[in-house]
Amino acid sequence: MSDIVPPEPDPDARIRLASMILKLRELGISNRRVLAAIETVPREVFVPEQYRGEAYLDRPLPIACGQTISAPSVVAMMTAALEVEDRHHVLEIGTGSGYQAAILAKLARRVTTLERYRTLLESAEARWQELGITNITGVVSDGSKGWPAQAPFDRILVTAAAAAAPAKLVAQLVDGGILIAPVGPADSVQRLTFFRKEGTTVETRDLGAVRFVPLVEGVARNL
């Protein structure tokens, strides 16, 4: 017998998470697998202490190193557009808090995620461990180059804004693979763009306006 009692899930947080799911449905997000994944990942674990109260509102929030965790509706929309299947290996560029990777990990066999700040990656790893998520590999690396050693990937999700269509990354997709990335200038609105590699051609679709922090080349020296 052990006298260690696991912490009770916070009932208020559960209610707020449930109302966030309702809100996502109202916004037209209907993909059941994606909503179910979002329902099992407590977003409050991924936001800084002082923003816990806002974790289940549909808004982006600041995280360490001057970066941002995306709004839940943006995470939901991007995840749905990625059409992730359970046998997939997904590459994410821009780990940030680790929240989007955790959602992908619920849907895919395996997730590899790249982050240029070691501090962010280490905090994200601690959160995945706390939640018992074991199918994510995080790497401190310049994601603008992708991860050729493990390519090709079934899906690639870029969660920082690329100035131009990321051809180097599209090349790391399997045939029929999908990449989603915000494309456009750093300090403005970007276009969320869908790319599907079909043999030697690439189908491209516009998914709407978004605002992301920029994809910066190179690994951060400090932090």
Q: Active-site residue among 30, 70, 141, 188?
A: 70
b/e per residue 136-156 (b: at least 16 CB within 10 A): bebebbbbbebbeeebbbbbb
Residue 38 exposure: Cα atoms within 13 Å on the Cβ side:
30
Under the binding rule (CB under 6 A), the answer on residue 142 touching ligand SAH is yes
Under the binding rule (CB under 6 A), the answer on residue 117 touching ligand SAH is yes
Select the span of 19-27, 36-44, 141-149, 163-171 touching ligand SAH (CB under 6 A).
141-149
Select the span of 29-37, 112-120, 180-188, 203-211 touching ligand SAH (CB under 6 A).
112-120
**Residue among 119, 115, 101, 206 at smallest CA distance from 157:** 101
Task: Using CB under 6 A, pick the residue from 10, 62, 217, 223 that binds ligand SAH.
Answer: 217
Under the binding rule (CB under 6 A), the answer on residue 123 touching ligand SAH is no
Under the binding rule (CB under 6 A), the answer on residue 162 touching ligand SAH is no
Under the binding rule (CB under 6 A), the answer on residue 45 touching ligand SAH is no
Shortest CB 99 distance to ligand SAH, Å: 4
Task: Using CB under 6 A, pick the residue from 56, 99, 128, 195 that binds ligand SAH.
Answer: 99
Task: Using CB under 6 A, pick the residue from 72, 138, 143, 184 that binds ligand SAH.
Answer: 143
Task: Using CB under 6 A, pick the residue from 43, 56, 70, 146 that binds ligand SAH.
Answer: 70
Site for ligand SAH, rule CB under 6 A: 67-70, 93-94, 96-97, 99-100, 114-117, 120, 142-144, 159-160, 213, 215-217
